[in-house]
Amino acid sequence: MKKIYKATVILLLIFGAFPLIQSDQTNVYLDNYYGAPIGCIIGEKAEFIVPNGTRTDSLGDINSLSSITIKTTGFGSTYGLSPQYPLANTLATIKDERINHINSDAIIAVLPSNFYNAWNIEIRWEPRGVKVETFAKRSFLTREGEWAKAVLGEEYAKKVHAIASTDYKKAEGQGMVNLWKELKRSFEPPTYTKMKTKIPGSPQPNLQQTEDEIKLTIDRLSRSLQRYKERGFVV
């Protein structure tokens, strides 16, 4: 009797949890970093244009997306010279990898093409509910965020993401500094003011921050962000 009871409990746990796993949605978005507008077709729906430097609304849950194709929209596309590029492999990869990204959205990033790839596609994952409000911020996190992860380590990459993904409207309304803008400036190349009289052969000073200086900046801004949260300036 005990064996039957244990087997029943195990089955209930397995099949009770199964719908929860299956019901977890994975919304799919498309980011256009291509450098020009691209056409996008979902299943049998009409083509729509994705302007460069923008993100689409949700294309749907991965379970409901039968197909997505993209194409260029230049002059030749009018005459059928721009073939559709299917993203079947990309969708299949998202389906395979979503188990490792519970409660996350899948982002199909269309990057600038190169000599080796006519279409340069990457899959990125973002926590569901964490909305980065501007494409400029998403581009920043793509470039500098990935650089921070590769060069400075996971800890600093998380700090960069936290600083950049925070909404500072309330803080700015109370005269506080926008920490993302401050962080962004630390990554930007320095600009030099041309002097009216320049000493021949004099080198320009290297004002670009070193890795250690960038770490100090990230740490400082991360502490400021924590104080903002404690005082209710940001959520």
Same-domain pairing of 97 and 153: no
Phi, psi angles (nearest 5°) of residue 88: -60, -45
pLDDT for res 156: 86
- Spatial distance between the Cα atoms of 201 and 194, rounded to a whole number of angstroms: 14
Residue 196 belongs to a domain: no
Same domain, 31 and 103: yes
In this predicted structure, which of 5-14, 76-85, 155-164 has the lowest mean pLDDT? 5-14
Size of the chain, expressed as the number of residues it contains: 235
Same domain, 150 and 164: yes
Edge to edge, what strands does the sheet with 120-127 contain? 60-61, 27-32, 104-111, 120-127
Q: What is the pLDDT of residues 137-154, one digit of tens each?
A: 666 666 677 777 777 888
User: What is the DSSP pairing of strand 27-32 with strand 104-111?
Assistant: parallel
Based on the fold, state whether residues 166 and 97 are members of the same structural domain. Answer: no
Residues 122 and 141 occupy one common structural domain: no
Residue type, position 118, single letter: A
Same domain, 79 and 47: yes
Based on the fold, state whether residues 61 and 124 are members of the same structural domain: yes
Looking at residue 65, its pLDDT comes to 94
Res 202: pLDDT = 53
pLDDT digits (tens, 9 = 90+) for 29-74: 998 888 889 999 999 889 999 988 788 888 999 999 999 999 998 6
